[in-house]
Amino acid sequence: MGLFTLITATKVADELLSNKQLRSDLFNISVKGLSEIAKLIDTDDDGDFDEEDVNNLLEYSFIIASILGQAAHADGVVQELEEEAAWEVLHEACFEDEGIFTEDVLSVITITKKEIKNALIEKFQEPYGIKKIAKYGIENEVEEILYELACVIVGADEKILADEREFLNEFGSRMELSKFDVKRIEKSCFKDIL
């Protein structure tokens, strides 16, 4: 890794970690997401953690990676702060102690942590479409969490461009969120921006 790349990465990480509001938002979202993960573990209520359950966990993580990717790409350019925030969210949601893929889960599935990470990177770079993400959000009652994730990534660079605003409007509409819910979530996420 070149010195410039290392200095740039360090600067971005410092900016990200020094943004108290962003850190707080990321933590709150990851905590909310954990309650949804518990619902996904044994989806068929058969008492066993089986292939169907693994597929559901993977799909949920792909949905998260996809909305983060869609939000980061909303203005056509993925800013470093947006990408750093997205990776932090993905890491917390997927690989922290109470994330989707705990060590216990990883010990009983046939795919590795590295394979999951690579799949998430791919899904971030080539995300599912907004329609599929919204359908999943509505069907699994996680639409507010997904909208909040989108807002955190859009606002990571502390500005909201016209393309990003258009993206949020379309996503909120597809998620069938009320204007009240959209305003409440945005007010929470964009305290320092609006």
CATH of the domain at 36: 1.10.3680
Residues near 20 by Cβ (< 8 Å), separated by ≥ 6?
none
Does the residue 194 lie in any domain? no
Does the residue 64 lie in any domain? yes
Tell me how far apart the alpha carbons of residues 27 and 24 are, in angstroms, rounded to a whole number.
5
Which amino acid, 168? L
Give pLDDT, residue 41: 60
Does the residue 173 lie in any domain? yes
Give pLDDT, residue 139: 93
Give pLDDT, residue 57: 87
Does the residue 90 lie in any domain? yes
Q: Are 28 and 100 in contact (CB under 8 A)?
A: no
Does the residue 161 lie in any domain? yes
Tell me how far apart the alpha carbons of residues 92 and 50 are, in angstroms, rounded to a whole number.
23
pTM, rounded to two decimals? 0.77
Alpha helices in the chain (DSSP H): 3-18, 20-41, 51-72, 80-95, 103-108, 113-125, 130-139, 143-154, 162-174, 179-189
Average pLDDT of adjacent 10-residue blocks, the chain of 194 residues? 38 46 51 48 65 85 96 92 91 87 82 93 96 95 94 90 95 96 91 69
Does the residue 72 lie in any domain? yes
Give pLDDT, residue 31: 44
Give pLDDT, residue 6: 35
Q: Are 16 and 85 in contact (CB under 8 A)?
A: yes
Domain boundaries, position 82: 3-189
Give pLDDT, residue 11: 44
How many CB atoms lie under 10 A from the CB of residue 59? 14
Does the residue 158 lie in any domain? yes
Give pLDDT, residue 14: 46
Give me the number of domains the chain comprises: 1
Give pLDDT, residue 158: 86
